[in-house]
Homo-oligomer: A and B are copies of this chain.
Amino acid sequence: MTDPRISVISERLKEVNRVIAVSSGKGGVGKSLVASTLALTLAKKGFKVGLFDLDFTSPSTHTILGIRGIQPKEDKGIVPPSVHGLKYMSIVYYSGEEATPLRGLDVSNALIELLAITRWSELDFLVLDMPPGIGDATLDLVRLIEKIEFLIVTTPSRLAFETVRKLAGLLKELGVPVVGVVENMKMNLSKTIQQQTRKLDLAYLGAIPYDTKVEQAIGNVNKLLNTVLADKAKNLATKIVSKLCINKP
Interface residues of A (CB under 8 A from B): 25-29, 32, 57-58, 60, 63-64, 97-105, 132-136, 138-139, 155-160, 162-163, 166-167, 169-170, 173, 187, 212, 215, 218
Say yes or no: A99 contacts B218, CB within 8 Å. no
Known contacts A100-B170, A105-B104, A169-B99, A28 near B160 by CB under 8 Å: yes
Q: Which of chain B's residues have a CB closer than 8 A to the CB of A98?
A: 166, 169
Contact status B27-A132, CB under 8 Å? yes
- What separation, in Å, do the CA atoms of A160 and B64 have in the docked complex? 12
Known contacts A158-B218, A218-B158: A136-B26 contact under CB 8 Å: no
- A166 near B99: Cβ-Cβ < 8 Å: yes
A25 engages B99 (CB within 8 Å) = no
Of B29, B64, B101, B134, which is within 8 A of A138 by CB? Answer: B101
Copies of chain A in the complex: 2
Q: Is the CB of A159 within 8 A of B218?
A: yes
Once the chains are docked, how many angstroms separate the CA of A27 from the CA of B100? Answer: 18
Q: B26–A159 contact, CB under 8 A? A: no
Contact B101 A173 (CB under 8 A): no
Q: A136 — which chain B residues lie within 8 A by C-beta?
A: 101, 103-104
* Interchain CA distance A98-B98 in the complex, whole Å: 34
Q: Cβ of B158 and Cβ of A215 under 8 Å apart?
A: yes
How far, in angstroms, from A215 to B166 measured CA to CA in the complex?
20
Q: Which of B60, B99, B159 interacts with A58 by CB under 8 Å?
A: B159
Is A187 a contact partner of B158 (Cβ separation < 8 A)? no
